[in-house]
Amino acid sequence: MLVSRFRRVLFCTAFATLVATIGSADRPLVYCLQGATVVPAPDQLIEHGTVVLRDGLIEAVGDGITPPPDAVIIDGDNLWVYPGLIDVVTILDKGAGQDGGPPSGSSGPSRAGADEASPGPVHPLSLVHPENRASEALLPFEDDRKRRAERLRELGFTTVLAVPTSGVFRGSSAAVLLKDEVPVSEIILREDVAQHLGFERESFGAGYPSSLMGAAATIRQVLLDTRRQEEWAQRYERDPKGMERPDFVASFVALRELVAGDQKAIFHADSANDVLLAARIADEFQLDAAIEASGHEWEVVREIRQAGYTLILPLAPPEKPKVADDDEALEASIRTMRRYLEA
């Protein structure tokens, strides 16, 4: 799972709010939390546990650990200690480009408008930009971003997966530490964690795809084209005689690891049926996939269970239907009411 790879780092950062209140010049190097109930991993529980941190890293976790002589002792009686949580679908900054690129007004590359050619070796469809990387659009946690990070930490989150915002192929995500007022280079735990896909479409007449069927066809065609481009490039490298040089398309290069099974795919589904569609595509191309669900998957739970893919479920409940007066109540369907009640 994505979570397991970062557990040790996350557990360490669970104490960030403790050390952040002490000035860096006077900050102790060693802390020892004693007597707490510690949950180091799922299904593991340590009563009256001890956690030792040295230089910002966990040195020891367990029962009966002798505190280091140079440690600051913290009484953990009646406290529970967990590893930090990960929010696996987070848009960190609304200032970033809507395609996951640089913030508006920056000097970085961006996609062109409908009536002009896009710069660079990009895919001809504007919703296909897997070469975008969330790590290249990150900004430090300062001002409004700092306040947002503080709210997440208060809820127990210490790491987020920063995800490009839109597209059929949105780009790759980055695992980011929720640490304030430090350079971006210090908060990136891992870049290119997963390639993100969605069934987004253009409005009718604005471009392709403009339907769910078109979005699914786009995903399939781009993955097939990536395979073909990779085979062509390998053949050309072995013996270019009599062959045209393969075109360089950034989208196909960015998807090489995905189609080879070396990068995880995360599909973003807007409905329970979209989850099943994503599962069929993942099966077809043998993708290592997880699916961000809509929250209504109980409607087709048997089919989803048979598909066998990991779901990323939303924690927020659906919006309460408006039924305060008769006119509003008429607009609320039985399905909407049931989704709210069953959430």
pLDDT digits (tens, 9 = 90+) for 226-285: 999 999 989 998 999 888 888 899 999 999 999 999 999 999 999 999 999 999 999 999
CB atoms within 10 A of CB 316: 7
> Confidence band (pLDDT; 50, 70, 90) for 104?
very low
Identify the CA nearest to 81 among candidates 20, 30, 39, 32.
39
Sign of the Cα torsion 197, 201, 206, 207 reads: positive
pLDDT at 27: 62
pLDDT by residue (tens digit) across 42-64?
889 999 999 999 988 899 999 98
Q: Is 50 exceeded by the pLDDT of residue 12? A: no
Express each pLDDT in 187-221 by its tens digit: 999 999 999 999 999 888 888 999 999 999 999 99
Question: In terms of DSSP bridges, do strands 264-268 and 188-198 run parallel, antiparallel, or are they unpaired?
Answer: parallel
Contact status, residue 81 vs residue 33, Cβ threshold 8 Å: yes
Q: Is the pLDDT of residue 112 over 60?
A: no
C-alpha span between 101 and 137 (Å, rounded): 6
The pLDDT value recorded for residue 332 is 83
Total residue length of the chain = 343
Three-state DSSP class for residue 61? strand
Beta-ladder partners of 49: 36
Q: What is the pLDDT of residue 115?
A: 45
pLDDT tens profile 272-331: 999 999 999 999 999 999 999 988 888 888 999 999 999 998 888 888 888 888 888 888
Residue 183 pLDDT class (50, 70, 90 cuts): very high
Q: What is the pLDDT of residue 111?
A: 47
